[in-house]
């Protein structure tokens, strides 16, 4: 009976377009473990063909899980501003802009990369996205406080550069993130990167291998301000994502 009631409640919430219901939905990092229900052996097959995945013919560097989760979060949050750190070819930024259009959300997408020469030409000419060239080691130069102060809320900030993580988090914490905004740190799944230990780019492997520990340390110092949203974080099993304990809501 309780299972039927739970399923009915979720269906009613979805049909009425209310906020998703989840028991103890928002939790502190101290209440979370660094583990995942998805088996270790699944991560290499899930991620080894990223180079073949496209959106409108542009490389889309997102896992199948994020492709399923992010639209739900976007629809609930209705972000006025999306800030993506890590543009690469631009496919992710265009995909995010298309999701806003699909849901009739009047929002802006800003996408940052250290080298915009890598952008696909179709992404480069898309007027819905403002691509900014800059180094996240000097995040204030590419996204100065004066610019951030003009951007409408709620925000969704997606960190996917694997550079200066703590500095980037602290910068947005002090320069704009407000109650109700969301922050996502990508590629914090330690198991996934252990499966890719034979990758040639050892420097990148070292950086991403530290991300979860750095995130946890930072969140421990801010755990009354940023909570893990378990509705999205655990939809496909505990930390069923390449982003562990990193779908965060500022409160």
Task: Kindly report the backbone phi and psi dihedral angles of residue 75, in degrees, each rounded to the nearest multiple of 5, phi listed first.
Answer: -65, -40
What is the DSSP annotation of the chain? Answer: -HHHHHHHHHHHHHHHTPPPP-TT-EE-GGG--S--SS-HHHHHHHHTTGGG-EETTEE----HHHHHHHHHHHHHH--SEEEEE--TTSHHHHHHHHHHHHTT---EEEEEES-GGGS-HHHHT-TTEEEEE--GGGHHHHS-HHHHTTS-SSEEEEE-S-SSHHHHHHHHHHTT--TT-EEEE----HHHHHHTTT-S-HHHHHHHHHHHHHHHHHHHTTTTTEEEEHHHHTBTBTT-SSSTT-EEEE-
pLDDT at 12 over 80: no
pTM given for the model: 0.90
Q: What is the mean pLDDT of residues 104-115?
A: 97
CA angle 3, 7, 11 (to 5 degrees): 170
Work out the mean pLDDT of the chain and round it to a whole number.
Answer: 91
CA angle 50, 93, 15 (to 5 degrees): 95
pLDDT at 185 over 80: yes
Tell me what pLDDT residue 207 has. Answer: 82
pLDDT tens digit sequence for 146-184: 999 999 999 999 999 989 999 999 999 999 999 999 999
pLDDT tier for residue 209 given thresholds of 50, 70 and 90: confident
pLDDT at 91 over 70: yes
pLDDT at 116 over 80: yes
Q: Which CATH number fits domain 31-250: 2.60.40.10, 1.10.760.10, 3.40.50.150, 3.40.190.150?
A: 3.40.50.150
Tell me what pLDDT residue 139 has. Answer: 97
pLDDT at 195 over 70: yes
Q: Domain residues of the chain, as ranges?
A: 31-250
More confident of the two residues 37 and 198 = 37
Tell me what pLDDT residue 165 has. Answer: 97
Tell me what pLDDT residue 20 has. Answer: 60
């Amino acid at each position: 009976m309780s299972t039927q009631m739970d399923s009915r409640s979720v269906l009613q919430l979805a049909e009425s377009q209310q906020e998703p219901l989840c028991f103890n939905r928002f939790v502190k990092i101290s209440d979370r473990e660094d583990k995942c229900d998805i088996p270790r052996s699944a991560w290499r097959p899930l991620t080894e063909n990223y180079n073949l995945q496209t959106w409108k013919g542009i490389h889309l560097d997102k896992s199948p899980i994020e492709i399923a989760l992010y639209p739900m979060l976007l629809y609930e949050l209705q972000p006025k501003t999306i800030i993506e750190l890590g543009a690469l070819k631009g496919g992710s930024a265009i995909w995010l802009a298309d999701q806003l259009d699909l849901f009739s959300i009047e929002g802006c997408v800003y996408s940052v990369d250290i080298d915009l020469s890598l952008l696909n030409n179709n992404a480069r000419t898309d007027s819905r996205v403002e691509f900014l060239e800059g180094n996240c080691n000097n995040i204030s130069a590419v996204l100065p406080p004066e610019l951030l102060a003009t951007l409408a809320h709620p925000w969704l900030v997606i960190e996917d550069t694997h550079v200066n993580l703590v500095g980037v988090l602290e910068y947005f914490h002090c320069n704009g993130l407000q109650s109700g905004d969301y922050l996502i740190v990508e590629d914090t799944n330690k198991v996934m990167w252990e499966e890719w230990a034979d990758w040639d780019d050892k420097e990148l492997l070292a950086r991403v291998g530290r991300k979860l520990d750095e995130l946890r340390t930072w969140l421990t110092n801010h755990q009354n301000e940023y909570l893990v949203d378990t509705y999205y974080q655990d939809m496909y099993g505990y930390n069923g994502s390449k982003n562990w304990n990193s779908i965060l809501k500022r409160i």
